[in-house]
């Protein structure tokens, strides 16, 4: 293999998983160069000439060929100062009374909890 491989992914995925994987890939394929674009926005894959895009999403573009690689679990958490000021939720219904920051790429405001 040789040539340039353009990859795009989120900043968090790139930093936690891909940087090491790309380094290993380059050791095995020294004639390949990788342009790893880590940003937290969706890019136009055609205009940016992207070869591989890794996304964390539940809403796939029907015009793209997509394959699931893994699942991504979410957690509900709060800063101690927030809980001290606003109270600690005791059950999932209590979350409706609290502020929530979500990862916008998931695109859904409805949460499902497994018991």
Rounded Cα distance between 89 and 80, Å, is 12
Highest mean predicted confidence (pLDDT) among 18-27, 34-43, 106-115: 18-27
pLDDT level of residue 54 (50, 70, 90 thresholds)? very high
Domain count, the chain: 1
- CATH number of the domain that 41 lies in? 3.40.190.10
> What would the mean pLDDT of 84-112 be, rounded to a whole number?
81
Q: What is the mean pLDDT of residues 89-115?
A: 77
45 within domain boundaries: yes
Containing structural domain, residue 21: 3-53
Instruction: Read off the pLDDT of each residue in 33-59 and give the average, rounded to a whole number.
Output: 90
* 96 within domain boundaries: no
pTM greater than the 0.75 cutoff: no
Of residues 80 and 61, more confidence is placed in 80
pLDDT score of 24: 96
Residue 64: its H or E element: none
Question: Which residues have C-beta within 8 Å of that of residue 60, sequence separation ≥ 6?
Answer: 66
């Amino acid at each position: 293999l040789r040539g340039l491989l353009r990859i795009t992914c989120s900043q968090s995925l790139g930093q936690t998983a891909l940087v090491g994987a790309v380094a290993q890939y380059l050791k095995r394929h020294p004639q390949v160069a990788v342009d790893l674009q880590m940003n937290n926005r969706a890019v136009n894959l055609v205009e940016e000439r992207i070869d591989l895009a890794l996304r964390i999403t539940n809403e796939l573009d029907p015009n793209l060929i997509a394959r699931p690689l893994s699942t991504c679990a979410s957690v509900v958490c709060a800063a101690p100062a927030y809980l001290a000021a606003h109270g600690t939720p005791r059950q999932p219904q209590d979350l409706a009374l609290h502020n929530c920051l979500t990862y916008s790429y998931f695109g859904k405001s409805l949460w499902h909890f497994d018991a």
